[in-house]
């Protein structure tokens, strides 16, 4: 009897790191749910690419900050594939403009906390019963470099607070769900910029990044390959970990040291 393919749901996966993760997991034989907020065209193109790999794929619109959207996302996934085995919480709003905490509006604080912490909790809670039913699951959260140290991040106060809260939640959920065959880990990408988010290591290994201790820029493949490893069948002994994938870069300390 042919074994059922694992089903992977990746939020914010029409572009960037989420896209590279979706492709990597598809190449490992997973059926894929692509999620997007506004990038409908990119999501459709990615679905076509993934289907050419030889697995199934659907694209579902939804904002990670909205409980109703995430509930509908999971319902669509179950309708199409029957379950969710792998959940990659890649999506999370980020304000690029550097601002003091006192300059944030209340609605911005609410949205950042909702999208980066509360919404992740909602989505995890929606998929855990499905994973418990099959006795197997993989949940990945996204943080930032050195998030596990709970250091301050000037001009990123709300985003950092949400992600540091997610560190504790990752460790707690990992312990609570270990007996159910579900692992929970956090990936903390380095400063992967622009087009590099969709590059392979081969495309970047000969480029120079003077800010990186490794000497080259980070890529989407650097992140996707670690996630893919954590989602393997025999990676069940790795849970509750906060993993920096940064080439040795410490962006917060660099910012503080430049003041």
**pLDDT band at residue 103 using 50, 70 and 90 as cut-offs:** very high
Q: For the residues 13-28, what does the mean pLDDT come to? A: 98
Per-residue b or e along 178-198, where b marks 16 or more CB atoms closer than 10 Å to that residue's CB: eeeebbbbbbbbbbbeeebbb
Per-residue model confidence (pLDDT) at position 250: 78
Asked whether 23 and 99 are in contact (CB, 8 A), the reply is no
* pLDDT per residue as tens digits for the range 174-207: 999 999 999 999 999 988 989 999 999 999 988 8
* DSSP count for the chain of H helices, then E strands: 9, 7
What are φ and ψ of residue 237, in 5° steps? -95, 5
Sorted by where each begins, the domain ranges of the chain are 7-257
Which of these, 17, 24, 16, lies nearest to 8 by C-alpha position? 24
**pLDDT band at residue 209 using 50, 70 and 90 as cut-offs:** confident
Could you tell me the pTM of the whole model?
0.94
- The CATH architecture assigned to 7-257 reads 3-Layer(aba) Sandwich (3.40)
Residue 38 to residue 18: CA distance in whole angstroms: 14
**pLDDT band at residue 259 using 50, 70 and 90 as cut-offs:** very low
Other CB atoms closer than 10 Å to residue 42's CB: what's the count?
17
């Amino acid at each position: 009897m042919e074994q059922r393919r694992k089903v992977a749901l990746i939020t914010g996966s029409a572009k960037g790191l989420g896209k590279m993760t979706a492709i990597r997991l598809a190449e490992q034989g997973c059926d894929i749910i692509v999620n997007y907020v506004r990038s409908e065209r990119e999501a459709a193109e990615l679905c076509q690419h993934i289907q050419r790999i030889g697995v199934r794929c659907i694209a579902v619109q939804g904002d990670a900050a909205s409980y109703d959207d995430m509930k509908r996302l999971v319902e669509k996934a179950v309708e199409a594939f029957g379950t969710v085995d792998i959940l990659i919480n890649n999506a999370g709003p980020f304000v690029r403009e550097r601002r003091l905490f006192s300059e944030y509006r209340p609605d911005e604080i609410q949205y950042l906390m909702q999208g980066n912490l509360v919404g992740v909790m909602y989505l995890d809670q929606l998929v855990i019963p499905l994973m418990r039913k099959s006795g197997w699951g993989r949940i990945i959260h996204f943080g930032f470099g050195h998030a596990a140290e709970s250091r301050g991040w000037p001009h990123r106060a709300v985003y950092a607070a949400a992600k540091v809260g997610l560190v504790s939640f990752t460790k707690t959920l990992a312990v609570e769900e270990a007996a159910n065959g579900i692992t929970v880990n956090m990936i903390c990408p380095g400063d992967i910029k622009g087009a590099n988010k969709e590059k392979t290591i081969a495309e970047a290994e000969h480029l120079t990044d003077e800010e990186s201790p490794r000497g080259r820029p980070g890529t989407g493949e650097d992140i996707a390959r670690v996630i893919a490893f954590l989602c393997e069948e025999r990676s069940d002994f790795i849970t509750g970990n906060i993993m920096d994938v940064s080439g040795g870069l410490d962006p917060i300390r660099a910012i503080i040291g430049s003041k």
